[in-house]
Structure 1
Amino acid sequence: MAHNPYADLPDERFWRRAVAGVPPFALDPRPAAPFPIAPTDRVATAGSCFAQRVAQALRDAGYHYYITEAAPPGLAPEEAEARQYGTYSARYGNLYTPRQFVQLFDRAYGAFVPALQAWPREDGRFVDPFRPTIEPAGFADPEAVAASRAAHLARVRALFESLDVFVLTLGQTEGWRHREDGAALPLAPGVAGGIYDPDAYMLVNAGAAEATADLRGFLDRLRGVNPAARVIVTVSPVPMIATGIARHVLVSNTYTKAVLRVAAEEAIAGDAQAVYFPSYEIVTGGQNAARYYAEDQRSVTPAGIRHVMRCFLAAFTPGGAAPPEAVTGAEFARTRGVVCDEEEIERSLA
């Protein structure tokens, strides 16, 4: 009989053995994955800008990165990238908050039709308020916005109903909403379209209960149309670029990541088809001494991405096999552009 309840626990349960006692690059807090990802599984992604790094790594590792809203035939690769075809599995742009996930589903299935339909730009063009950066040239008129949105939401429905694995990355709790019906927006009006009016829009900073309920609500909705869907939830290690709350951005960032981490834990508790993957912990842990951030202390370096994906692929590769050699090699030195709608905030102030 053990002398105490900790006597026979594995090394991973002890800080000295699993964190302090290993080199930073060898830290491996991967979960005991409840399911593998087969090469033929249709793997989709959505979320904050860090989710794009996951998508790139999945492609490079040979997984079936699933896209239901592909670029039109004949569109030049550079233009396709600028218009965010392939950035995510569908052209929904950045989904930062759990509320955006819920409302994307409800908009796709007609359960929520926001009053807000189009935002004007200073150049006379229009943007979709729910994905304001997907068309750099904007749209000619609100009707064009509506037509594009309808086609897009059809592809979102197809995605939700046919994906096998959904990698969902949570980024923020702060977000702007339309006062009339609570429609959640990726950017404040006036940043990349629209006109800021405090009587029409409000800043909301979700708490743990709301974030958890939203995430759980989204998972319930997804399983309603795709009962076999497996979900991997992550929290983005990328700090927020600005806070609308009257306090230091570091304090707001700590709050937002803490709430999202709690929501991720509580929303999937007891769900055999969902698992939390600790990309946030791998990148932000003190053992790294900020080595996985670039000089701006915000952008995750290629080395950080490699570390995250080594652990990810080792966790979800069938049989727990080691990740392919290429995943830890030089392909990440070729850093593709990442679309981060938040950066429009700083550009709008320049």
Structure 2
Amino acid sequence: MIGSPIIPDAIFEQARSNKARVFSAHAGDGSSGAERKKGDILATLQHTPKFKLDATAPFFAIGSCFARNIELSLAQQGLHCVTSQCVFPDDYYELRGFGARNGALNAYTPGSIMDLIRFAKRSEAETVALQDVGDGQWADMLMSGLRLLNDDEAASARKQLLQTYRNLPDARTVIITLGYTESWREKATGMFINRPPAGNMRLNRRAGHYEFLNMSAEQILGAVHTSVQEIYQQTEGRAKLILTVSPVPLASTFTGQDVITANDFSKGVLLAAAREVSSAYDFVDYFPSYQYVIHSHPEAAWDNDGVHVKYSLVNRIMQRFCEMYFD
């Protein structure tokens, strides 16, 4: 466990048996970190799973847009993903022409992930963070990428979201993908949301109902621990958890910093939290999807926008995942 002391004999033995221990390329045998980063299109990483997963049991994917990529890749390999079943009509989205899809499920921050996991327990689950913008239209602040919805559409979309999280206890594997630290929450309820109060004039006028929070390392760690413990309780200890960090950078930052340094803070804190939390539970493992992307060949990894990961690389990463975690 990270943060716990280890006696010298044990740590020396662990170091001796680690074939991926050295970064410097001076050995020249291909085993160094420097050589493995330069070798294949996909970085070669040593990763030993803590446990095996049941490929026949339901999966549940929570997190940023990279979580949707993971989910799609697993579904194409024949796995049953609960969250794949929750699709919203193309017409509900601000960006249309991509067909019915579940991108509205994207949850980008540890706070919003935590609150969605606990969402179905709330007495006001059907209305919390559902912003009335007037003229019979609503902004569902818990969902990403949706346009303003009328009364019936808003009720239907919220019902679908709620039912999806009510199905979480059925999952036997839950994959959580942490996106970034820059967060928004509703002042009245403290509920973390999944869209900023911006991009629409009527929503902008109600920005005072919300507050921005760039979550600290301590806050992130607490939120991830809470998420893990909540899933354990809801699934009665039957689910295994995989923690990952999305390699997709911030599209832009609210902090006033250079977006590059702001993104480095986000990813650094999330990576530290994911590793520390996964080391604290025997039913939680960390999978290095972030490192697979970041240390792979850039032309093979990134779309032209420099933000989104090429789906061909995601597929290769998830093939590695399946080889490691499934018998």
State the partner residue of 2:50: 34
Moved more, 202-211 or 180-189: 180-189
Gap change, CA 1:233 and 1:144, over 3 Å in 2: same
Q: Offset at 1:317? A: 2.0
Gap change, CA 1:26 and 1:216, over 3 Å in 2: same
State the partner residue of 1:296: 305
Aligned 8 A contact 1:237 1:279 in 2: yes
Aligned 8 A contact 2:42 2:292 in 1: no
Gap change, CA 1:71 and 1:263, over 3 Å in 2: closer
Gap change, CA 1:151 and 1:7, over 3 Å in 2: closer
Q: Offset at 1:31? A: 2.6
- The reply on whether 1:179 has 2:187 as its aligned counterpart is yes
> C-alpha distance in 2, partners of 1:71/1:98?
23
Gap change, CA 1:5 and 1:228, over 3 Å in 2: closer
1:1-350 residue pairs with structure 2 within 5 A?
8-15=16-23, 16=25, 17-22=31-36, 23-25=39-41, 27-67=43-83, 69-70=85-86, 82-85=99-102, 87=103, 93-110=105-122, 116-120=129-133, 125-134=137-146, 136=147, 138-141=148-151, 145-146=154-155, 148-158=157-167, 160-191=168-199, 194-197=203-206, 199-226=208-235, 227-285=237-295, 288-289=297-298, 291-318=300-327
> C-alpha distance in 1, partners of 2:131/2:211?
18
Aligned 8 A contact 1:125 1:139 in 2: yes
Deviations 1:233-291 (A, max 9, x none): 11000111010001110110000000110111122223111111111111112x63564
Counterpart of 2:80, as a letter, is H
Moved more, 52-61 or 299-308: 299-308
> C-alpha distance in 1, partners of 2:48/2:186?
41
Q: Percent identity, please.
A: 22
Gap change, CA 1:83 and 1:310, over 3 Å in 2: closer
TM-score (norm. length: structure 1): 0.76
Q: Offset at 1:110? A: 1.4
SS of the aligned residue for 1:64 comes to coil
Q: Offset at 1:28? A: 3.0
> C-alpha distance in 2, partners of 1:236/1:45?
13
Q: Offset at 1:97? A: 0.6
Aligned 8 A contact 1:97 1:173 in 2: yes
TM-score (norm. length: structure 2): 0.81
Gap change, CA 1:107 and 1:283, over 3 Å in 2: same
SS of the aligned residue for 2:60 comes to strand
Q: Offset at 1:144? A: 5.1
Flag structure 2 segments of 5+ consecutive residues without an equivalent.
1-8, 26-30
Deviations 1:119-165 (A, max 9, x none): 438x863231111534x5x4322x6524542453133112x110010
Counterpart of 2:313, as a letter, is G
> C-alpha distance in 2, partners of 1:109/1:309?
32
Counterpart of 2:142, as a letter, is F
Question: What is the RMSD computed on CA atoms of the aligned residues?
Answer: 3.1
Aligned 8 A contact 1:29 1:311 in 2: no
Q: Offset at 1:118? A: 2.5
Counterpart of 1:125, as a letter, is Q
Moved more, 29-38 or 251-260: 29-38
State the partner residue of 2:4: none
Flag structure 1 segments of 5+ consecutive residues without an equivalent.
319-350
Moved more, 109-118 or 164-173: 109-118
Q: Offset at 1:8? A: 2.9
> C-alpha distance in 2, partners of 1:261/1:283?
14
Gap change, CA 1:81 and 1:224, over 3 Å in 2: farther
Aligned 8 A contact 2:64 2:178 in 1: yes
Q: Number of residue pairs matched?
A: 302
